[in-house]
A and B are shown apart, each in its own frame.
Chain A
Amino acid sequence: MKKRVMNAAAAAVLALSMVLMTGCGSGSGSSSKESVKVGLLHSMTGSMAISEQAVLDAEKLAIKEINESGGILGKQIEYQEEDGASDPSTFASKAEKLVDQDGISTVFGCWTSSSRKAVKSIFEDYDALLFYPVQYEGMESSSNIVYTGAAPNQQIVPAIEYLIDKGYKKFFLLGSDYVFPRTANMIIQAQLDAAGLEVVGEEYADMDQTDFAAIIAKIEAAQPDVIINTLNGTGNVSFFKQMSEKNYTSDKYMTMSFSIAEEEVATIGADILKGHLVSWNYYETTDTEKNKEFVEAYKKEYGEDRVTSDPAEAAYDAVYLWKAAVEKANSFEVDDVLAAIEEGGISYDAPEGTVTIDGSNHHLAKTVRIGEVKDDGLIYEVYSTDAPVEPDPYLQTYDWAVAAGIKPLEE
């Protein structure tokens, strides 16, 4: 009898504790008088943590700077970090938790397109705001997301144009097997077809592939002039190390990469990447006043060995752009901020130059810069557009894209 009662009691306690546990997580409600809450949704564990750490650090730096100079509309910014664990469904749960329970005003987050796509409808349904700071493959727009990274016409398309100008004729497309490289290569294919140039090979490596011998053999067989590289983080390291063991430098096979920034150069080694090209909107060596301050602040906060990179800078910009939008709207409410953004004209004097949010598609006008990796491990600009390029995520202003049938999904 006693045993039965005790066990029933244990069961009840367990059930109750489960419910209580759900209570302990819910945040402290919406913004208090003195502070406003924002969410930082990135992968702190798992394979994507390698890349997302820098972005998280940049966001925290921006928040710290804003707080030190008096906050926004008189309120200090408090942030709540959530770990997406490199898993899109965890991103979905955490995003929903942030926008619903924790009473936050905006979220800065995501890196992979899969995590962004998983949370996109959540932000739309809850009428919340997400700032997405990473370059991506385009073909998307949302009324609840502001994309502060490059759209394809601000990174991919100009890079190919630059290469065509420089006289490269045979292109080899190499990427990791996920959506960004496949979409990017589809765009590049259309662009090269329009220019009458040849794609001599298109290969996709597995996401966690470590041995590139077979792929390098295919490259040797195809004899391209330039390799367009959309491999992901760890794949890049393996690929370049294994290319260099065969003594293939940028003279033999030039590469143009879209996922190699200063962080990756540090991991791979400047001696291996010397002379290779990358395409971004910002480099640590970009020559603006604001950038000098930014780099100094970043190194002071996180260590002299750390480097800034385009995604980190885009995240830094995102926080300041949100500040600008809030100040223009004079309110933290998402509807007001979105209205201010859509009116146009929200801009910020960023380390990469002035960036402005395009009210119609929520992307930024950004200067395109092609860079070359040099001996000291930093990337130096070899070409840049004269003015910021307007974002065109669906490539509607490019005849060859329209002709190839690239268009928004028909609803």
Chain B
Amino acid sequence: MAEIMNTIFNSLSLSSIYLLVALGLAVTFGLMGVINMAHGEFVMIGAYTTYVMQELMGGNGSAAYLLSIPAAFAVTFLLGCVFEKILITRLYGRKIDSLLATWGISLILQQAARSIFGSQGVNVNAPAFLKSGLKVGACTFAYNRIFIIALVALCLAGVWLLMNKTSFGAKMRATMQNRSMAQCMGINSRKIDCLTFGIGSGLAGIAGCSVALLGSVDSTVGQNYIVYSFMTVVLGGVGNLLGTVIGAVIIGFSSIIIEAHQGASIARAIVLLIIIVFLQFRPKGLFVIRSRSLDEE
């Protein structure tokens, strides 16, 4: 019983991490069709922001960590907007080229992290209130994982509210479904693009804060999450929040369950192959926005 509870909790936790990283990507990919290969590096920037906040405010106080979440969001939001204005607008409509150009950006960002913070990883301490865990019988549920799950739920709720209950969200969805029509209706699609990319990057920054709790913070931290976050988005269907959640759950649960019985490398290979096979049957993901147009653009 304890083992099952543990497995479920671990799977939930892993899914939440993948979901948090993939949420920003789902937003940008969904709306603008931009595959941002530098998304992992925005996660890295968020993680480093946590470190900087800790250094600035001294020690590992709870305030330092809680403040670093909005700080990371702000930093990556601004950076995302800047990138969008400088680079992504020029690649509008050229999806594959945006993939490649953002890869170039990711190389630059990684080297910048090395130049600023050094090649070695930096130490980010979990704040005191997140240390240790909740004891339920024989299982311990770590507080920082519970915190991350809560954070993801909050972000998810926030994004859902933004997309469905605000006028900005309505404009976002309109631009996503039919850009030219939305432009005809008077929506400034360029501004929407910029803000959306910023929000997507900001979510990556928040993901960076959580990633900093669980692992090392160095220039390569983004690379570990990037393939899984793509898989989550593609699995769930582009631009669909529920799809992304289900995608993350599928990947998280299957990773943990398979890893419990196999070695880690084999487990990873199996999970990836499962996803590829799944995509054979539903190439556009779980939830597809159906449109009448034949081509994607």
Point out residues on A near B: beta carbons under 8 Å: 44-47, 49-50, 52-54, 177, 203-206, 208-211, 213-215, 217-218, 220-221, 233-234, 236-238, 241-242, 244-247, 263, 266-269, 271
Knowing A234-B216, A245-B144, the reply to whether A210 touches B119 (Cβ < 8 A) is no
Contact of B260 among A208, A210, A217 (CB under 8 A): A217
Give the nearest-CB partner of A205 in chain B.
B264
Tell me the minimal C-beta distance from B196 to chain A in angstroms. Answer: 27
19 CB contacts below 8 A, A to B, read A45-B114, A50-B219, A204-B263, A204-B264, A208-B223, A213-B14, A214-B264, A214-B267, A234-B216, A234-B220, A237-B121, A237-B215, A238-B215, A241-B214, A242-B215, A244-B131, A245-B143, A267-B216, A268-B123
Note all chain A residues with C-beta closer than 8 A to B145: 245
| B120 with A209: CB separation less than 8 A | no
Cα–Cα distance between A263 and B123 once the two chains are bound (Å): 10
Beyond the given pairs A49-B119, A206-B268, 8 more chain A to chain B contacts, judged by CB atoms under 8 angstroms and listed by A's residue number, are A45-B110, A209-B224, A210-B224, A214-B255, A214-B256, A237-B121, A245-B144, A246-B133
Contact of B123 among A50, A177, A267 (CB under 8 A): A267
Tell me the minimal C-beta distance from A94 to chain B in angstroms. Answer: 18
Note all chain B residues with C-beta closer than 8 A to A45: 110-111, 114
Cα–Cα distance between A247 and B212 once the two chains are bound (Å): 18
| A215 with B132: CB separation less than 8 A | no
Question: Of B2-10, B95-103, B154-162, which stretch is located at the interface?
Answer: B2-10
Tell me which residues from 104 to 154 in chain B have a Cβ below 8 Å from any Cβ of chain A. 110-111, 114, 118-123, 125-126, 131-133, 140, 142-145
| B140 with A241: CB separation less than 8 A | no
Q: How many interface contacts (CB-CB < 8 Å) are there between A and B?
A: 123
| A245 with B142: CB separation less than 8 A | yes
Cα–Cα distance between A369 and B133 once the two chains are bound (Å): 35
Q: CB of B218 within 8 A of chain A? A: yes
Cα–Cα distance between A49 and B223 once the two chains are bound (Å): 15
Cα–Cα distance between A205 and B143 once the two chains are bound (Å): 24
Give the nearest-CB partner of A43 in chain B.
B119
Cα–Cα distance between A297 and B77 once the two chains are bound (Å): 43
| B131 with A217: CB separation less than 8 A | no
| B10 with A214: CB separation less than 8 A | yes
Main secondary structure of the interface of A (DSSP, over half): helix
| B121 with A234: CB separation less than 8 A | yes
Cα–Cα distance between A191 and B160 once the two chains are bound (Å): 58
Give the interface centre of A52, A210, A221 by most chain B CB atoms within 10 Å: A210
Note all chain A residues with C-beta closer than 8 A to B13: 211, 213
Cα–Cα distance between A238 and B221 once the two chains are bound (Å): 11
| A241 with B114: CB separation less than 8 A | no
Give the nearest-CB partner of B261 in chain A.
A214
Cα–Cα distance between A210 and B215 once the two chains are bound (Å): 6
Note all chain B residues with C-beta closer than 8 A to A269: 123, 125
| B7 with A217: CB separation less than 8 A | yes
Note all chain A residues with C-beta closer than 8 A to B10: 211, 213-214, 217
| A53 with B120: CB separation less than 8 A | yes
Knowing A53-B120, A177-B263, A217-B260, the reply to whether A245 touches B131 (Cβ < 8 A) is yes
Note all chain A residues with C-beta closer than 8 A to B265: 177, 204, 206
Cα–Cα distance between A12 and B3 once the two chains are bound (Å): 70
Tell me the minimal C-beta distance from B113 to chain A in angstroms. Answer: 11
| B213 with A210: CB separation less than 8 A | no
Cα–Cα distance between A211 and B218 once the two chains are bound (Å): 16
Contact of A49 among B114, B143, B215, B221 (CB under 8 A): B114
Q: CB of B225 within 8 A of chain A? A: yes
Tell me the minimal C-beta distance from A84 to chain B in angstroms. Answer: 13
Give the interface centre of B10, B119, B133, B224 by most chain A CB atoms within 10 Å: B119
Cα–Cα distance between A177 and B265 once the two chains are bound (Å): 8
Note all chain B residues with C-beta closer than 8 A to A244: 131
Tell me the minimal C-beta distance from B149 to chain A in angstroms. Answer: 13
| A215 with B119: CB separation less than 8 A | no
Give the nearest-CB partner of A247 in chain B.
B132
Note all chain B residues with C-beta closer than 8 A to A47: 220, 223
Q: CB of B17 within 8 A of chain A? A: yes
Note all chain B residues with C-beta closer than 8 A to A241: 126, 213-215
Note all chain B residues with C-beta closer than 8 A to A247: 132-133, 140
Contact of B120 among A211, A238, A267 (CB under 8 A): A267
Cα–Cα distance between A46 and B111 once the two chains are bound (Å): 9
Cα–Cα distance between A296 and B108 once the two chains are bound (Å): 35
Give the nearest-CB partner of A209 in chain B.
B264
Cα–Cα distance between A206 and B218 once the two chains are bound (Å): 18
| A211 with B14: CB separation less than 8 A | yes
Cα–Cα distance between A190 and B215 once the two chains are bound (Å): 33
Tell me which residues from 184 to 224 in chain B have a Cβ below 8 Å from any Cβ of chain A. 211, 213-216, 218-221, 223-224
